[in-house]
Structure formats: structure tokens, C-alpha cells
């Protein structure tokens, strides 16, 4: 941030529990720390947040449209160039797609391109349960993202892994840890 221009944080939310707290937990604190925030959602998260009016609140707060669909050819880019991406919360499906290079929606396309861009940090916070982690492909997905240079926010101190049937309802997400990982990754 040498030119006096605000850094841009690309926030990508997926259809995982806690996405409904994205504005209060991550977007507002990032703006308070001086970031300009551009929000993109997976189609599922977009449907959920549109149904509650949350996308309108995010757009009012950030001054930018919330994206969950690709733009048409020739349409201008609705977001400025991003200095760091954070995918939070990232569902097990989103993690698997990012790890295998599957970019079948706007959110995954943006992050997939960022993973392949030199010197563009990407932070991923998987919001998963113990059954997801025990899936035979999970460790390979985590390793693929680490090899690609993705900064992963995980571990029992950040998010204890519960069995799906035992997860406490409404447990708050560790947004402060996610934002700290963004600050560290972005330098």
C-alpha cells in the first residue's frame, strides 16, 4: 500500500454455516482496518443471503455489488483488482473444488485464478465437520492447497471438529483469527 490507495480484500463466501455472519464478523472489521472489500458468493451462499436481504446490506456497506453470477462478455468488471482473497467460510465442497482446480461458478473462478497468480495471497477457512475431515480425499485437498501457497486457517484451536450430529448450534465463527490470517498473508 505504498501509493496511498486502499488495499482491496476479495471476500468469497460459500454455502457453509456461518456465512450469514460474514458482514458483521469479517467485512465490517476488515473495513475498519482500512481494507476496501469486494464480496463474491457461491450460488448457494448468494441465494441464502439474498433471501435474507444480507446482500443489500453488504452492498450498502462496501459500495460495490455482491457478485454471485459471472458478468457478460464486454461488461466492465464490477470490482477493483484484489490484493488478497479470503474464502470464508469455505464448505467442504468449495475446498474440494479449489484443490482440484474446478472453477464452475464465479466465486471459484476468481479464487482459482488467484491461486494461479504469482504474489496474490489466498486465505481459506474451511468450515467443516469431523466427517468431512475423515473423508479419504480431505488430506490430499489440504496438501494441494498448501503446495499452491494457500494460507489455511484451521486446527482445533480455531474450529473444533464436531461430529455433524453433535455440533453446537450457532457456535460463532473465529472471524478474528481469519482476519489475522489475512493480515499476515497480505503483509
pTM tops 0.85, yes or no: yes
Q: State the average pLDDT over residues 58-69.
A: 97
User: Can you read off the three cell numbers belonging to residue 55?
Assistant: 446482500
User: Where is pLDDT greater, at 17 or 43?
Assistant: 43
pLDDT of residue 33 exceeding 70: yes
Of 182, 187, 162, 184, the closest CA to residue 9 belongs to 182
Domains in the chain, start-ordered, CATH in brackets?
A: 8-67+81-186 (3.40.50.1950)
Mean pLDDT across 10-17: 95
Whole-number pLDDT of residue 162: 64
Report cis status (omega within 30 of 0) of the bond before 89.
Answer: yes
pLDDT confidence bin for 2, thresholds 50/70/90: very low
Lowest-pLDDT range of 69-73, 130-134, 160-164: 160-164
Q: How far apart are CA 78 and CA 71, in angstroms?
A: 8
Per-residue pLDDT tens over the stretch 35-48 = 999 999 999 999 99
Q: What average pLDDT does range 78-83 have in this prediction?
A: 96
Distance of CA 24 to the CA centre of its chain: 14
Q: How far is CA 127 from CA 64, 131, 148, 156, 174, in A?
A: 26, 12, 20, 12, 10
Q: How do residues 85-101 score in pLDDT, each as one tens digit?
A: 999 999 999 999 999 99
Q: In the prediction, which pLDDT does 168 show? A: 65
Amino acid at each position: 500500500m505504498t501509493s496511498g490507495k486502499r488495499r482491496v480484500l476479495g471476500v468469497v463466501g460459500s454455502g457453509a454455516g456461518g456465512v450469514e455472519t460474514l458482514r458483521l464478523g469479517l467485512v465490517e472489521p476488515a473495513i475498519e482496518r482500512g481494507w476496501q472489500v469486494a464480496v463474491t458468493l457461491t450460488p448457494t451462499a448468494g441465494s441464502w443471503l439474498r433471501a435474507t436481504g444480507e446482500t443489500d446490506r453488504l452492498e450498502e456497506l462496501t459500495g460495490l455489488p455482491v457478485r454471485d453470477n459471472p458478468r457478460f462478455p464486454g461488461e466492465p468488471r464490477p470490482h477493483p483488482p484484489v490484493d488478497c482473497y479470503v474464502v470464508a467460510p469455505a464448505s467442504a465442497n468449495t475446498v474440494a473444488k479449489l484443490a482440484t482446480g474446478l472453477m464452475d461458478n464465479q466465486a471459484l473462478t476468481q479464487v482459482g485464478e488467484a491461486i494461479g497468480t504469482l504474489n496474490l495471497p489466498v486465505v481459506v477457512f474451511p468450515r467443516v465437520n469431523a466427517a468431512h475431515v475423515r473423508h479419504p480425499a480431505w488430506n490430499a485437498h489440504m496438501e494441494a492447497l498448501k503446495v499452491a501457497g494457500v494460507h489455511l486457517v484451521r486446527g482445533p484451536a480455531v474450529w473444533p471438529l464436531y461430529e455433524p450430529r453433535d455440533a453446537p448450534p450457532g457456535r460463532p465463527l473465529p472471524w478474528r483469527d481469519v482476519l489475522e490470517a489475512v493480515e499476515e498473508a497480505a503483509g
